[in-house]
């Protein structure tokens, strides 16, 4: 309920702030192209939340693997933001 949200929200915000700091640091070092770090953080969070939701369907088809989808989403986002492709 609401009590759980009140307890959880500060932790989620702290994680998002940490990720935003990592993105900012990567931009400052030239590993990522400049861009809105806060927006990128929210995009990453939203994409991973979608992967987690799809992961619930893995029992019907392994193509919905949250891990596989999440890893490819992160790689695609980072590459789109200027990171060197892996592999």
pTM, 2 dp: 0.86
Instruction: Give residue 25's pLDDT.
Output: 98
Q: What confidence tens digit (pLDDT) does each residue in 1-59 have? A: 677 778 888 999 999 999 999 999 999 999 999 999 999 999 999 999 999 999 999 99
Q: Give the other-Cβ count within 10 Å of 82's Cβ.
A: 14
Instruction: Give residue 14's pLDDT.
Output: 95
User: Please, which pLDDT band fits residue 87 given cuts at 50, 70 and 90?
Assistant: low
Nearest to 70 by CA among 40, 43, 48: 48
């Amino acid at each position: 309920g609401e009590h759980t949200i009140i307890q959880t929200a500060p932790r989620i915000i702290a994680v998002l702030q940490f990720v935003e700091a990592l993105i900012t640091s990567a931009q400052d070092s030239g590993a990522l192209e400049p861009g809105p770090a806060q927006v990128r953080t929210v995009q990453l969070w939203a994409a991973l939340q979608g992967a987690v939701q799809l992961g619930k369907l893995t029992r019907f088809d392994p193509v919905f693997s949250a891990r596989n989808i999440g890893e490819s989403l992160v790689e695609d986002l980072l590459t789109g933001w200027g990171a060197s492709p892996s592999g």
